[in-house]
Chain A
Amino acid sequence: MSESEAPVLEVSDIVKTFGGVRALAGVSLSLKPGTVHCLAGENGCGKSTLIKIISGVERPDSGRIVVAGTEHDRMTPSGAMDAGIQVIYQDFSLFGNLTAAENIVLTGEVAAHRALYSRRRARPAAERIVRELGIKLDLEEDVERLSVADKQLTAICRALVHDARILIMDEPTTALTRTEVQRLFAVVRQLTERGVALLFVSHKLDEVLQVAQTVTILRNGSHVLTAPAAELDGASIGRYMTGHDIDESRQVVRLPADASAVLEVRDLTLPGAYRDVSFTLHRGEILGLTGLLGSGRSEIAESLFGVLPARSGTITVDGQDCTIRSIDDAVAAGIGYVPEDRLTQGLFMDASIADNIIASSLDAYRRRPSRLLDRRRIAETITSLFGRLRIKAPNVSSPVRSLSGGNAQRVVLAKWLATKPKVLILNGPTVGVDVGSKSEILQILRQEAADGRGVLIVSDDVPELVAVCHRVLVIRQGQVVQELEGDGVDLETIQRTMAA
């Protein structure tokens, strides 16, 4: 770790634009062998994009990539692997139709430019790495049948199975348990001792501080700071990431004492995901549901929306018992749902903003007796939501594909507000949304609650929950382990309970 050691990877002045908008505006970074370099920044600041550029998946508009003294002006995925770079992608980039063992060894075989593939060679290699990591993984199962955590483990194994010179991990720990994370870090330490350089992305700041020697912080595609980890702490990293001007303070109006229940959940159980979940959501209330990935928080939300119907328990909306076996049932009961995966589940990318906004409420605009759509009323709704949510776009007939993350999320929100739901469930409402948009979206949610809706936010973005929620439920291993209310809603308590 001497200062004099030559960097194994140097990228400089990387610029990348997507459809006219800058994802990276001249970012530089250098990695030294035997060190862990951490890349931090808010959602959408360009971390993954930078990684994809280093690994040859995306081509930069300008900038230089130098690996071990050799400049690569047309980096390709196989070129990167040849240069000793391995990546754990944020979305894993696994092959669902192949077994875990195959997934683990296949990239290596490609990198080795082999013509033939041998199961007999593959199997032991996969087994060895699983053993080294001390994890349990069914190597013969197709990856699409694995849980998210096992998928993540597969992706980690795949990257570690090689003797990589540079190992890049884009949020490798989101779905892992504490012990799994600790094992991974042990391996990371072994690797650094062997001289491997690591580039590590995580939103969990404690992890960052635990493993990293150097930290680089990006904001909105620009380089903010590179400093030794020892000189930083969680608070200062957070400050550099967000800037100071954003108000994430808690702004919660007191609920009237007699606020009626709009959603009541009793003993909801889905074996394997969560059990005996009970809570009440009141009119005008914003309720947070948090927990680590894999804790069951998303599944609870999806059960309420009929995507993943619960096995037992009762759901009552506005005093009416509801059987929610399908999305139709949920929508009929007055529940709206902003999904976690905006791009595939929330939006029709090539359709216009207008078409997206009325997608869920089409039936309400049928005229009698012709049953044709009432285009005037539709236009009114669209225009009013377009204005109310301040969607930044030339007009309502622009395709959603042309929108930024924050604006796209507003379109999803508008789609559900158009149905005038009694209960609005949001799963990760501000994922991939930048800070400016984020506070606006939170403000919209406060407004909607004030108008008498029940709002349920499922998120692991704790500051955001603290900023808007009346109450927060913490889920761990499928159960509600704590309920925080009023002044009890506080960042540290939540984080502690989540991870306990």
Chain B
Amino acid sequence: MTAQKEQGSLRRVNASVDEVARSLVGRFQTNRGVRRMLVLVVVAFALFAALRPGVYLSTLNLQNIAVAAPEIGVLAIAQMLAMLTGGIDLSIVAVANLTAITISTLYTAAGSRGDALGPVFILIGLVVALVGGLVNGLLVSRVGITPILATLATMQIFNGLAVVWTGGRTLYGAPRVLTGVGNATVGGIPVLFIALLLVAAGIGILINRTALGHKIQLQGANPTAAAYSGISSRRTLLGTYVMTGLLGGIAGMLFIARNPTASADYGASYTLLVIVIAVLGGTNPNGGFATVTGVVLAALTLQIVSSGFNAMRWSPYQYAVAQGLILIVVMVSDQVHLRRRRRGTPPALPVGPATPPTPV
């Protein structure tokens, strides 16, 4: 970009400082996954708005999308974090339910003082989630069990404990702090949605602006090089799964904020859905790359498509087909794009299972 080398060098230094800043701050603004999701959101929205303008463009519909997206959005962000390290967490939904059950149980047990003690119960619920995440983290980082298996097992354990605890019943009741949040809006925007944005921002900061976040990304990008760079995989993985546990706990809070009930089997269909959302949002299933914005947009997209299918009176099975097709088409187009960009260099080895990040 510079012809005159002598003076150019100062400019180059300046430009590169700029670049660093830009790459660190706004990594996702220029990101392809985000752009793709933006396009998808707009296209999906425009399509259904054109087909069913009366229903689709109502504030009520927008609000409903905004109320429905947060719980899967937060779960998908948690999944994204696990996938960023090249792992996966199948137990997030079970953890979320444990948190919800804890809060609801404590609230009911406290009787009339339940509302006053609400914040304490929420804290305890989050501690439960944290312990769940810690168990996952220890199994993955210490015992060395592959994440997909470790969390498959803990999913059953956490879920089983929830069944034992509740006897299979749906618990009713939640502190007012939560239910109030569930119904409230600020300037027409549901507080639940604001909560999603806050979580997204928090995780965005974690990933991009903290040492742990960078380590998580590097761990996923190339675990061997990470180890040789003095990044402790134990600590990084432990931190990651504790975070996914915590996010699961937050999702559990959103469950009961939206609806003051808790049960062992709420959200069973979310487990695989959130993997789909995370990948749609640009998360590399082999680790190393992900953007929070992409994931939030992906959650919104599926919400929009789902409400659109409903408004069009298409069947849930057609929606399942559409969801699968969207995932596949996005993956294929990504791959084609990547190959075109890399033409000339041999393509990466075919990717195996989602868990083992292929070291370059």
Inter-chain contact A371/B210, CB cutoff 8 Å: yes
Nearest-neighbor residue (CB-CB) of A372 within chain B: B209
Inter-chain contact B360/A349, CB cutoff 8 Å: yes
**Which of A178-186, A351-359, A474-482, A485-493 is the contact stretch?**
A351-359
Q: Give the A interface residue count (CB, 8 A).
A: 49
| In-complex Cβ contact of A331 among B221, B230, B344, B346 (8 A) | B230
Residues on the A chain within 8 Å of B1, using CB: 394
| In-complex Cβ contact of B232 among A19, A307, A328, A354 (8 A) | A328
Residues on the A chain within 8 Å of B9, using CB: 387
Nearest-neighbor residue (CB-CB) of A351 within chain B: B221
Residues on the A chain within 8 Å of B344, using CB: 17-20
Q: Which of B20, B22, B215 has the most CB of A within 10 A?
A: B20
| In-complex Cβ contact of B360 among A17, A343, A395 (8 A) | A343
CB-contacts of B257-288 with A (<8 A): 288
- Confirm or deny: A200 has a beta carbon within 8 angstroms of a beta carbon on chain B: no
Residues on the B chain within 8 Å of A371, using CB: 210-211
Question: In whole angstroms, what is the CA distance A397 to B24 when docked?
Answer: 9
Q: Mark B199-239, 1 if CB is under 8 A from A, else 0.
A: 00000010001110011011001101111111110000000
CB proximity of B70 to chain A, nearest CB, Å: 25
| In-complex Cβ contact of A345 among B17, B205, B225 (8 A) | B225
- Confirm or deny: B59 has a beta carbon within 8 angstroms of a beta carbon on chain A: no
Inter-chain contact A362/B224, CB cutoff 8 Å: no
Q: Mark B118-154, 1 if CB is under 8 A from A, else 0.
A: 0000000000000000000000000000000000000
Inter-chain contact B360/A359, CB cutoff 8 Å: no
| In-complex Cβ contact of B205 among A365, A372, A378 (8 A) | A372
- Confirm or deny: A204 has a beta carbon within 8 angstroms of a beta carbon on chain B: no
- Confirm or deny: B345 has a beta carbon within 8 angstroms of a beta carbon on chain A: yes
- Confirm or deny: A238 has a beta carbon within 8 angstroms of a beta carbon on chain B: no
Inter-chain contact A344/B214, CB cutoff 8 Å: no
Residues on the A chain within 8 Å of B58, using CB: none
Q: State which size class the interface on B falls in.
A: 35 or more
- Confirm or deny: B188 has a beta carbon within 8 angstroms of a beta carbon on chain A: no
Question: In whole angstroms, what is the CA distance A343 to B225 when docked?
Answer: 8
Inter-chain contact A372/B210, CB cutoff 8 Å: yes
Question: In whole angstroms, what is the CA distance A387 to B10 when docked?
Answer: 10
Inter-chain contact B17/A383, CB cutoff 8 Å: yes
Inter-chain contact A375/B24, CB cutoff 8 Å: yes
- Confirm or deny: B359 has a beta carbon within 8 angstroms of a beta carbon on chain A: yes
Q: Which of B210, B230, B232 has the most CB of A within 10 A?
A: B230
Inter-chain contact B225/A358, CB cutoff 8 Å: no
Residues on the B chain within 8 Å of A337, using CB: 228
- Confirm or deny: B16 has a beta carbon within 8 angstroms of a beta carbon on chain A: yes
Q: Which of A351, A352, A359 has the most CB of B within 10 A?
A: A359
Question: In whole angstroms, what is the CA distance A347 to B288 when docked?
Answer: 13
Inter-chain contact B19/A397, CB cutoff 8 Å: yes
Q: Mark B22-59, 1 if CB is under 8 A from A, else 0.
A: 11110000000000000000000000000000000000
Question: In whole angstroms, what is the CA distance A347 to B221 when docked?
Answer: 9
CB proximity of B82 to chain A, nearest CB, Å: 19
Nearest-neighbor residue (CB-CB) of A397 within chain B: B23
Question: In whole angstroms, what is the CA distance A18 to B346 when docked?
Answer: 8
Nearest-neighbor residue (CB-CB) of B289 within chain A: A350
Question: In whole angstroms, what is the CA distance A208 to B24 when docked?
Answer: 51
CB proximity of B207 to chain A, nearest CB, Å: 11
Residues on the A chain within 8 Å of B228, using CB: 307, 327, 337, 339, 345-346
Inter-chain contact B17/A346, CB cutoff 8 Å: no
- Confirm or deny: A330 has a beta carbon within 8 angstroms of a beta carbon on chain B: yes
Inter-chain contact A395/B205, CB cutoff 8 Å: no
Question: In whole angstroms, what is the CA distance A345 to B225 when docked?
Answer: 4
Residues on the B chain within 8 Å of A328, using CB: 230, 232
Inter-chain contact B225/A348, CB cutoff 8 Å: yes
Query: With A345-B228, A346-B225, A351-B288 known to touch, is A375 a contact of B21 (CB < 8 Å)?
Result: yes
Residues on the B chain within 8 Å of A343, using CB: 360
Nearest-neighbor residue (CB-CB) of B358 within chain A: A344
Query: With A18-B344, A362-B214 known to touch, is A386 a contact of B224 (CB < 8 Å)?
Result: no
Question: In whole angstroms, what is the CA distance A326 to B227 when docked?
Answer: 10
Inter-chain contact B230/A348, CB cutoff 8 Å: no
Residues on the A chain within 8 Å of B222, using CB: 344, 347-349
- Confirm or deny: A382 has a beta carbon within 8 angstroms of a beta carbon on chain B: yes
CB proximity of A116 to chain B, nearest CB, Å: 26
Nearest-neighbor residue (CB-CB) of A336 within chain B: B230
Nearest-neighbor residue (CB-CB) of A58 within chain B: B346
Question: In whole angstroms, what is the CA distance A347 to B222 when docked?
Answer: 8
Q: Which of A343, A345, A352, A360 has the most CB of B within 10 A?
A: A345
Inter-chain contact B211/A352, CB cutoff 8 Å: no
Nearest-neighbor residue (CB-CB) of A400 within chain B: B360
CB proximity of B212 to chain A, nearest CB, Å: 9
- Confirm or deny: B109 has a beta carbon within 8 angstroms of a beta carbon on chain A: no
Residues on the A chain within 8 Å of B209, using CB: 372-373, 375
Residues on the B chain within 8 Å of A352, using CB: 23
Inter-chain contact A344/B360, CB cutoff 8 Å: yes
Inter-chain contact B225/A344, CB cutoff 8 Å: yes
Question: In whole angstroms, what is the CA distance A350 to B21 when docked?
Answer: 19
Nearest-neighbor residue (CB-CB) of B343 within chain A: A19
- Confirm or deny: A91 has a beta carbon within 8 angstroms of a beta carbon on chain B: no
- Confirm or deny: A379 has a beta carbon within 8 angstroms of a beta carbon on chain B: yes
Question: In whole angstroms, what is the CA distance A331 to B360 when docked?
Answer: 24
Inter-chain contact A360/B19, CB cutoff 8 Å: no
- Confirm or deny: B342 has a beta carbon within 8 angstroms of a beta carbon on chain A: yes
Nearest-neighbor residue (CB-CB) of B359 within chain A: A344
- Confirm or deny: A366 has a beta carbon within 8 angstroms of a beta carbon on chain B: yes
Nearest-neighbor residue (CB-CB) of B208 within chain A: A373
Inter-chain contact B232/A383, CB cutoff 8 Å: no
Residues on the A chain within 8 Å of B17, using CB: 379-380, 383
Inter-chain contact B13/A378, CB cutoff 8 Å: no
- Confirm or deny: A363 has a beta carbon within 8 angstroms of a beta carbon on chain B: yes
Residues on the B chain within 8 Å of A351, using CB: 217-218, 221, 288
Question: In whole angstroms, what is the CA distance A365 to B214 when docked?
Answer: 12
Query: With A19-B345, A348-B218, A362-B214 known to touch, is A383 a contact of B13 (CB < 8 Å)?
Result: yes
Residues on the A chain within 8 Å of B332, using CB: none
Nearest-neighbor residue (CB-CB) of B9 within chain A: A387
- Confirm or deny: A415 has a beta carbon within 8 angstroms of a beta carbon on chain B: yes
Inter-chain contact A373/B211, CB cutoff 8 Å: yes
Residues on the A chain within 8 Å of B22, using CB: 397
Inter-chain contact B19/A396, CB cutoff 8 Å: yes
CB proximity of B23 to chain A, nearest CB, Å: 4
Q: Mark A386-398, 1 if CB is under 8 A from B, else 0.
A: 1100000011110
- Which 8 A-B pairs give the minimum distances between C-beta atoms? A331-B230, A362-B211, A379-B20, A397-B23, A348-B221, A349-B360, A359-B229, A395-B19
Known: A359-B231, A360-B231. 4 other contacts (CB 8 A): A17-B344, A350-B288, A350-B289, A395-B15
Chosen A-B contacts, 18 in total, with CB atoms closer than 8 Å, are: A327-B228, A345-B228, A350-B288, A351-B221, A351-B288, A354-B19, A354-B24, A360-B229, A360-B231, A362-B231, A372-B210, A373-B211, A375-B209, A378-B20, A383-B13, A394-B1, A396-B20, A397-B22
Q: Which residues of B contact A (CB under 8 A)?
A: 1, 9, 13, 15-17, 19-25, 205, 209-211, 214-215, 217-218, 221-222, 224-232, 288-289, 342, 344-346, 359-360
Q: Which residues of A contact B (CB under 8 A)?
A: 17-20, 58, 307, 326-328, 330-331, 337, 339, 343-352, 354-355, 358-360, 362-363, 365-366, 371-373, 375, 378-380, 382-383, 386-387, 394-397, 415, 419
